Amino acid sequence: MLDEREFICVTCPVGCSIETVVEGQELIEIRGQACNRGVAFVKEELSAPRRMLTTTVRV
């Protein structure tokens, strides 16, 4: 079953909106990246997602 997913790349300041088509754990199609770092980012997020956790600290 094909699954469409959208990622926002955070590896450079451009912040590309990357659209992917995934079947299971296999990346079928990727579009929207401005550089090769976007491709690497999506592949890593599919295999081992890392969530960014932010907190607020009073100063």
- Domains of the chain, by residue range, sit at 2-47
Look up the pTM and report it. 0.73
Percentages of the chain per state (helix, strand, coil), in multiples of 5: 20, 35, 45
Rounded CA gap, 49 and 14, in Å? 20
| pLDDT tens sequence across 33-58 | 999 999 999 999 888 887 666 677 77
pLDDT reading at 27 higher than 70: yes
pLDDT at position 53, please? 65
Rounded CA gap, 17 and 14, in Å? 9
11: part of which helix (H) or strand (E)? none
Rounded CA gap, 1 and 57, in Å? 44
43: part of which helix (H) or strand (E)? helix 36-47
